[in-house]
Chain A
Amino acid sequence: MNRDEPLRDHDRLIEAMRQQIRATPMPPARRAALLRPASAVGRVRYLGWLVAGAVALVAAMVALALALSLVGGATPPPAYAATLNPDRTVTITLREMADIPKLNAKLAALGTRIRVVPVLPGCVALVHVVSNGKVVPAPAQTLHASRTTGSIVSMTIEVKTLPGRTLVIADTRKGLYALGVVVVGRSASSIAIIAAAGEARKHATTSGALALGSGRSSRAQARRAISTTKVRSSSLPDRTCYIPRRYRRRARGGARRSQTGTINRRALGRGRLDR
């Protein structure tokens, strides 16, 4: 400010403040200010210590979280779930094959006739196509499980279309499909869930079930039998194939029987079957 200029009106305010600043001793530096180094090198070191402290703090928090999770403090997501929906559908979620018995117990407790069975890649089973809730009078289709890696899915299935029959949701050689398929039989209904890695996403985009490869059941018809509403994939390191007892009775061919036996032994050996 040029002090030679005549004093303007607002200068009275500025001058009053100037006088007060001159008359007041400078307050002592605060502790935080004293801790901050003045030189550039010191500032870098100061920042370095700050960063190191922050990293140490984060590491301590991570370690604490891990420790808590190890002692059961954290709640992992449920490995399986079965929910009976108001619209007579059941939503099934399965993340680990080992939880299939628990899931089936849950399904039984819900009063549904659905059971989940694991399917091993390479297994072959006879299935029938369902159209509009009824078995299509056509030759049984073959259920192929050919994936070696995959994911388990969560899906919603209409219960009312499964009186005393077996519903199979499976993939085909062409890829993953949720099939509106009923296997004629007297045992309780069962579901074989097979999902291939990378295809669960494709599955999720389909609002309903897809028809078996034969093309005898349209997608719309199959949708009435099976309603797949949500798919959530998770890691499935290994799958086993279980062909229900009635399949074995039907499977008279040597190769198929042999395959079934092999599969069953492997599956039973791992304790992953519910029967």
Chain B
Amino acid sequence: MSLVSGRDRSKEAFERLYERVAERLLAFIVRRLGDPDAAAELWAECWAVAFERWHGCRASASGEEEAWVFGIARKRLAGYYRSGAIERRALVRLGWSLPELDRADLDALERLAELDGLKRVIADALAELPTNRQRALRLRIIDGLSYREVAARMGCTEQAARATSRAACALWQR
């Protein structure tokens, strides 16, 4: 396959793109969602959107085409983070569906994304934080509580809870 595919917007070109990117995109989404089931659905929706918009793709090289698909995935992910729901509009429009995923499929997706190793790294990084910051981070990020609720659980003011959570995030990111 040539590095430069030009602006071939045929179905064959899309299939080639799919062969190149499908697995990587799946791992990309699973790692960011941490939920293989939801990730599979979002991945499928991404491909449905890409399929519908393939004629509008302005990428001129194969790398750009891949970036274009990942861009679609990022937008879907952002929408998921914002709304907590996975859109299925494109899947519905195209009449596509996903196979039922059993336990083995989900385990395979976790292995693909190396989620075990990722979780270990995250747990280690969390363990390095001071206790109160760990707790604030768990309550705020993992449990998804509001600052008011975090403050009530930690027995401090809302402002202190906010500051602790933010400090923990900053420290953790480092």
Which A residues lie at the B interface, using CB under 8 A?
1, 8-10, 12-14, 16-18, 20-22, 24-30, 32-33, 36, 38
Looking at chain B, what size class is its interface with the partner chain?
A: 35 or more
Residues on A with C-beta less than 8 A from B115 are: none
Contact with A along B17-41 (1 / 0, CB 8 A): 0110011001000000000000010
A–B Cβ pairs within 8 angstroms, 30 of them: A1-B22, A1-B23, A9-B107, A9-B109, A10-B105, A10-B108, A10-B109, A10-B112, A12-B99, A12-B105, A13-B99, A14-B22, A14-B23, A17-B47, A18-B22, A20-B96, A21-B11, A21-B15, A21-B18, A21-B51, A22-B15, A24-B94, A24-B96, A25-B11, A26-B11, A27-B55, A29-B9, A30-B56, A33-B56, A36-B56
* Known interface pairs A10-B112, A27-B52; 4 further A-B residue pairs with C-beta atoms within 8 A, sorted by A's residue number: A13-B26, A13-B98, A26-B51, A26-B54
Max chain A Cβ within 10 angstroms of own Cβ: one of B9, B11, B22, B97? B22
CB of B58 within 8 Å of the partner chain:
yes
Provided the pairs A10-B112, A13-B105, A21-B14 are in contact, do residues A33 and B19 lie with their beta carbons within 8 angstroms?
A: no
Query: Is chain A's interface secondary structure helix, strand, loop, or mixed overall?
Result: loop
Kindly provide the distance from the CB of A30 to the nearest chain B CB, expressed in whole angstroms. 6
Tell me the complex Cα distance, A36–B94, Å.
Answer: 24
- Residues of B participating in the A interface, judged by any CB pair closer than 8 Å: 7, 9-11, 14-15, 18-19, 22-23, 26, 40, 43-44, 47, 51-56, 58, 94-99, 101, 104-105, 107-109, 112
Q: Point out the residue from A8, A22, A38 that lies within 8 Å of B108, measured CB to CB.
A: A8
Name the residue of chain B whose CB is nearest to the CB of A26: B11
Contact A29 B26 (CB under 8 A): no
| Shortest Cβ distance from A16 into B: residue | B99
Given contacts A10-B26, A10-B112, A21-B14, A27 and B105 within 8 Å (CB-CB): no
Return A96 CB to nearest CB of chain B, in Å: 49
**How far, in angstroms, from A29 to B14 measured CA to CA in the complex?**
14
* CB <8 Å contact, B51 and A24: yes
A78 to B1, CA, bound (A): 70
Contact of A16 among B11, B56, B98, B107 (CB under 8 A): B98
Q: Give Cα A54 to B94, complex, Å.
A: 36
A17 and B22 CA atoms in complex are apart in Å by 9
- B143 CB to nearest chain A CB (Å): 30
Q: In the complex, are the beta carbons of A33 and B55 less than 8 A apart?
A: yes
Would you give the shortest CB distance from A44 to chain B, in whole angstroms?
A: 13
B97 to chain A, nearest CB (A): 8
Are A17 and B44 neighbours in the complex by a CB distance under 8 Å? yes
Contact A26/B14 with A10-B108, A13-B105 known, Cβ cut-off 8 Å: yes
Chain B residues with Cβ below 8 Å from A30 are 53, 55-56
Q: Which B residues touch A12, using CB under 8 A? A: 99, 105
Q: Are A9 and B58 in contact (CB under 8 A)?
A: no
Q: How far is the CB of B148 from chain A (nearest CB, A)?
A: 39
Q: Whole-angstrom distance between the alpha carbons of A13 and B23 in the complex?
A: 10
Considering the chains assembled together, what is the distance between the CA atoms of A26 and B57 in angstroms?
A: 13
The chain A residue with its CB closest to the CB of B15 is: A21
B65 to chain A, nearest CB (A): 14
CB contact between A32 and one of B56, B101, B109 (< 8 Å): that residue: B56
A30 to B53, CA, bound (A): 8
Bound together, the chains give a CA A33 to CA B19 distance in angstroms of 24
Given the known interface contacts A13-B98, A32-B56, the answer about A27 and B108 at a Cβ–Cβ threshold of 8 Å is no
Chain A residues with CB under 8 A of B14 = 21, 26
In the bound complex, how far is the Cα of B19 from the Cα of A8, in angstroms? 15
Chain A residues whose C-beta falls within 8 Å of the C-beta of B54 in the assembled complex: 26
